[in-house]
Every structure is written in C-alpha cells, then in structure tokens.
Structure 1
C-alpha cells in the first residue's frame, strides 16, 4: 500500500527570497534523489487561512520505502543541516488510500 508523505511548513526566510529559493532547490535535489522517493513536489500555499506557506509531497510504494527514506543519511543530513535551522514551523501528514 503506497504512502503519501506530506509536510507543510513555513521557513524563517522571506517568501521568494534567495534564501528560500536555495532551500527549496536543495531540498528538491537532495530529497528527490533518495531511493524510494516518487512524485516529489514542492507547492506554495495560496490560502490566507494557514500560516504554513510551503509543502513537500512525495509518494512511497510501501512502508519499507518510507522507512528507508526516514533513515537515509541524505534525509538525516538535510534535517540536521537545513530543516532544523531554517524551518520556523511545520506539520507532517502521512496518508494511505482507503
């Protein structure tokens, strides 16, 4: 059963700044390159109802692929080096199709 992993977040950088663009480009390059990651997208929130302004979404074929992503050195490094220092707030959601 596939898993859709979604993280909605707000960066500490201003929208459309060079810092935001660098973070998003690095995330796309690093995270989408991890084995098992499919359908990686980066989206911007357009509703004023949420202060979480960006989203990463990706699909994993199964729990093993998702677990492999979570423990992969590239994911762990990105979280430690970038996510923990540049993300102001976030929510994480993982869905399976009913």
Structure 2
C-alpha cells in the first residue's frame, strides 16, 4: 500500500529571499533523487489560517521504501545540515488510502 509523506513547515529565511529559494531547490534536488521517491512536490502556502509556509509531498510504494528513504544518507545529511538549522516549525503527516 502506497504512503504519501507530507511535511508542512516554516523557514528561518525572509520570504522571497535567495536563501529561501536555495533551500527549496536543494531540497527538491536532493530528496527527489533518493530511490523510491515518487511525485515529489514543493508547494507554497497561500492560506492565512496557517503560519507554516511550505509543504513537501512525496509518494512511496510501500513502508519498506519509506523506511529506506528515512535511512538514506542523503536524507540524513539534508536533515542534519539544512532542515534542523533552517526550519523553524513543522508538522509531518503520512497517509495511506482509507
């Protein structure tokens, strides 16, 4: 059963800044290249009901593919070197078909 992994988050960077754009592009390039990742998207929040400004979404074929992504060295490096220092708040949601 496929898993849709999403994370909504805010960045420490100024909206529209080069740092913001560079973070999003690095995430797109790094995370979408990890084996097992399908349908990787980056979305910007437009609602005024949430302070979380962005969303990453991706699909995995099954739980082993999702686990392999979480353990992949590129993902671990991205989390340690970029996510933790640059993301100020986030929520993670993982979905399967109901």
Per the normalisation by structure 2, the TM-score is: 0.99
Q: Distance in 1 between matches of 2:58 and 2:17?
A: 24
Per the normalisation by structure 1, the TM-score is: 0.99
SS in 2 for 1:36: coil
| Match of residue 70 from structure 2 | 70
| Match of residue 80 from structure 2 | 80
| Match of residue 17 from structure 1 | 17
Contiguous gaps of at least 5 residues in structure 2:
none
| Match of residue 4 from structure 1 | 4
**How many residues of Structure 1 are paired with residues of Structure 2 in the alignment?**
98
| Match of residue 34 from structure 2 | 34
Could you list the structure 1 runs, at least 4 aligned residues long, displaced by more than 3 angstroms after superposition: none
Contiguous gaps of at least 5 residues in structure 1:
none
